[in-house]
Amino acid sequence: MIEVIEDEARDRMTKSVEALSQSFNRIRTGRAHPSLLDGVKVDFYGTESPLNQVASINVEDARTLTLSVWDRSVIPEVERAILKSELGLNPVTAGEVIRIPMPSLTEETRRLFIKQARSDAESARVSIRNVRRDAITGLKNLVKEKEISEDEEHRAGDLIQKITDEFAKTIEKALEEKEADLLKI
């Protein structure tokens, strides 16, 4: 029973770190990468569809993304979706290809993106602490139901704390890498 609680805690913490990674991918660093457009939704014949389902996204060079939209009639919708996405990107259409140049980051936008990254990291930390709390509550319930002893609860609680510390270090490392990436000129 203890193993189930530990496994569930580890799985939920892993999902929190993965969500943080996805959040970090949406923060623009000045270099082109396709995952930057992951959150963009396009009105595709009345249905909100992810951009990668209506176009292929490629990196043309270090500072330019290119989109090849599969249905030419949707190009204006794709442009509109990119402009509305609050990523600060301005698509340029050339026939059937949409080019998205990555504007260079100003000092102010770098600070804003670092602030956003820190906020996302703090949300991930809160999430893993909530998972730890839920796991410890589950252990206490097992003691109340006399399924495990207090010694087993204490050992399992220590293990849950070690797992939590491990994931907290992962979050810190990811934040440091993102901040370093944002500070590169």
CATH code where residue 138 lies: 1.10.132.20
Q: Are residues 170 and 121 in the same domain?
A: yes
Q: Are residues 45 and 8 in the same domain?
A: no
Q: Are residues 50 and 66 in the same domain?
A: yes
Q: Are residues 97 and 113 in the same domain?
A: no
d(CA 105, CA 132): 38
Q: Which residue, of 101, 123, 149, is where some domain finishes? A: 101
Residue where the block lists tokens 């319930």: 141
Residue pair 160/135 in contact (Cβ under 8 Å)? The answer is yes
Q: Which residue, of 101, 136, 155, is where some domain finishes? A: 101
* DSSP letter (8 states) at residue 100: E
* DSSP letter (8 states) at residue 103: P
Asked whether the predicted pLDDT for residue 53 surpasses 90, the reply is: no
Question: Residue 179 is part of which domain span?
Answer: 2-25+106-183
155/103: higher pLDDT: 155
Q: Are residues 71 and 122 in the same domain?
A: no
Q: Are residues 89 and 129 in the same domain?
A: no
For 19-76, give the DSSP string: HHHHHHHTS--SS--GGGGTT-EEEETTEEEEGGGTEEEEEEETTEEEEEESSGGGHH
What is the CATH number for 49? 3.30.1360.40
- The answer to pTM > 0.85 is no
Asked whether the predicted pLDDT for residue 26 surpasses 80, the reply is: no
Q: Which residue, of 101, 134, 150, is where some domain finishes? A: 101
Q: To which H or E segment does residue 150 belong? A: helix 150-183
Q: Are residues 96 and 110 in the same domain?
A: no
Please state the domain count of the chain: 2
Residue where the block lists tokens 């000092």: 107
Q: Are residues 126 and 166 in the same domain?
A: yes
Length of the chain: 185
Residue pair 42/164 in contact (Cβ under 8 Å)? The answer is no
Q: Which amino acid is at 23?
A: S
Q: pLDDT digit string (tens) for 87-112?
A: 778 888 888 888 888 887 788 888 88
